[in-house]
Amino acid sequence: MAAATGVHRRHWSGWRIGGSSHFVPLKVMHTSGGCAARSLSPGLSPAKRAPLVFLFLLLIDGALLAASATTDTILPGEGISGNETLVSKTGSFELGFFSPGPGIHYFLGVRLRNMGHSPTFWLGNRVVITDLPGASLEIFGGSLYIKQNGASLWWTPSPGGNVSSAAVAVLLDNGNLVVRDQRNSSLVLWQSFDYPGDALLPGARLGLDKDTGKNVSLTFKSFSHNGSLSVDVTRRNGFVLTTDGHANLGTFPDWMVSSQDNGSSLRLSHREGPNSTEFLQFHLGQVSLMRYSEPDPDANGTGGWAARWSFPPDCKSGGFFCGDFGACTSSGKCGCVDGFTPSFPIEWGLGYFVTGCSRSVPLSCESDGQTEHGDTFAPLDKLQGLPYNAQGEMAGTDEVCRAACRSKCYCIAYSYGHGCKLWYHKLYNLSLASRPPYSKIYLRLGTKLRNKNGLQTRGIALLVTGLICFASLILIISVLLWRFRRNSFAARKFEVEGPLVAYTYAQIKKATMNFSDKIGQGGFGSVFRGTLPGSTDIAVKNLKVLGEAEKQFRTEVQTVGAIQHNKLVRLLGFCVKGDRRLLVYEYMPNGSLDTHLFPEKSGPLSWNVRYQIALGIAKGLAYLHEECKDCIIHCDIKPENILLDAEFCPKIADFGMAKLLGREFNSALTTMRGTMGYLAPEWLSGLPITKKADVYSFGIVLFEIISGRRSTKMMQFGSHRYFPLYAAAQGRLLVHPGSGGR
């Protein structure tokens, strides 16, 4: 299908040559001996320069092929399936089957392209896809069909007439998926803008479309709540926000609205910049205008998604912002009243307070049907007015009013001041006042039924106290035994790790002169220079804490400790003492590659050295991928993890994120690991990770070796560029001007 439709396939199987269908795997034969480059002279013979140029052309050709193999149209009788995507003409949006997160089913949707965490602006009727390879989107007779293993799960209405056979599906540059006549593009038969879900892109209409009769509104549905956002035809730029049946009226500011059709509908203003995009989002009782700006390196990397406007901005604006039994504090934050906790703690923690609060202890009448005893009424004072949903009751005193509420199990609060008022079932729109006048209500709370037998109650209390004391004693003894045995147990676990030396902490402390010569700092700890007896220079990595650092320690010992190669940094030994984890490596005098590729003071590397460094890295990867007993995926190839010896021979280091896979590849990586800017597309798309992920990272490093510039800082006319596409378009400008190459 890819050959017919030209859709973009997100598969990385190697590098394509000349547009042919054959893939060339990147594999470098290992040669014995040391580094071939012993001279730092800038000259390089044509015979040695040819392989480097060949690798460079392969990377450019692969990037050009990926850029050209895209289309925005599905022709009659065709479609997309699996990982294929439909891409708008300018490359801003893509349509495909996406997953909201690991382990979650797939949905057909439209989202921003080339963004790792893009929102989904449209979902195909929220149809759940459980088998991605068997999923497809096709067009027949003017209707779109979502299919799974040949069975239709959802389809758009048939337009009928002669135009049906000539209808095509097109993803426009504004994110709108349309079905239109192939011969007359102005004849639109169906569009996703009429079914926006919970997001509205600029140019989309909200409200009644008089041409189609379609009344467009935003909707939100979850397992706990649902709501809608619709146009209020009685007010200019007005809208009605409804959450769980509670309505809240609001008004869009004039700068957000580009046009309004006599109050029946309106369109958002298109205010996108060259490095930003906007959309309207409705989620859990709040509507927000979200803007994405690309990170600005001149502003400490600030950027990403941010709300430019929200309604309601906080709980002081009224409405159903804090949900049932939630109260708005004087600072504009929501909180649960006494005796209640958040109904959905995760959503509450994310700031979606409309989910409200639930009782910590149920009412007695709800459990045993008794209304005369068991429940109490606690005062809730310093309120700013009374809640709205009150019911009047004839009562002459406070006691009579309280008794009237107690007699009804569904009565949850009462107030007696200006007459008797009762509240049934739910309590919302509570707001705490910062200054007088104050209002007060009495909230009904459940209490545990008292045991009538006092001796029995006392006996139970003594028994519980004794059990707690005994359990505490056992816990203290267990902790002491665990701490006593931990050091020796941890050390014994690593005594069998092949030829590695188990150093004592005192030996390493002496070799590093009490860790006085710090030569590096990483995400998991610091690196110190030292000298072993016999004048052997070493580098000691002191891991900071347990947790992730413990995983890195075990991975390095089990991976690097079992292999030996002249293009891999050699692990000499380790140390385990209490919470301390230390790794001892051979010392590399010239440090990491990044300090020479992107120097602040020293001159650039010659072409001869660059070539030998690139070749050495490739040899190291070829050994890890092809020559070891198990295929080892490094997962974090970048200049910082390439160390250089005294003769500028490269060695791959830092195997803390490495993964061993059997030759049958019967398992796949699922947890993202690596460094942004060097991650292969498989990491972001949820595809299985193989050794090709390392090849992609090496390709980015190869670009940096050639250009002498960071891939993540490539800029042109103030906008970020994807490094492979920049290299494809500006290949000659990519070469570092001071490297001696032409």
> Known binding site for ATP: residues?
541
Q: Side-chain half-sphere of 15: how many Cα atoms within 13 Å?
A: 20
The per-residue DSSP string of 650-687 comes to: EEE---TT-EEE-TT------S--S-TTS--HHHHHTP
- Burial of 130 per CB tally in 10 Å (0-12, 13-18, 19+): exposed
Phi, psi (5° rounding) for residue 731?
-60, -45
DSSP 339-396: TEEESSHHHHHTT-GGG-EEESS--HHHHH---SSSEEEEEEEEESS--S-EEEE--S
Task: Give me the half-sphere count of Cα atoms (radius 13 Å) on the Cβ side of residue 69.
Answer: 21
* Measured distance CA(640)–CA(591) in Å, rounded: 9
Active-site pick, 324, 636, 654, 694: 636
Tokens for 164, please give them. 């049906």
| Alpha carbon distance 490, 504 (integer Å) | 13
Residue list for the binding site: 541
Contact (CB, 8 A) for 526 and 542 = yes
Name the DSSP letter for residue 63: H
Decide: 284 and 355 in contact? Cβ < 8 Å: yes
**741 to 606, 655, 680, 708, 733: CA distances (angstroms):** 8, 33, 29, 12, 12
CA 348 to chain centre: 19
Contact indicator for 612, 36 with CB cutoff of 8 Å: yes
Distance CA 601, CA 583 (A): 31
3-class DSSP state of 414? strand
Active site residue 579: no
Q: How far is the C-alpha of 431 from the C-alpha of 429, rounded, in Å?
A: 6
CA–CA distance, 16 with 2 (Å, rounded to integer): 16
Which residues are catalytic, by number?
A: 636
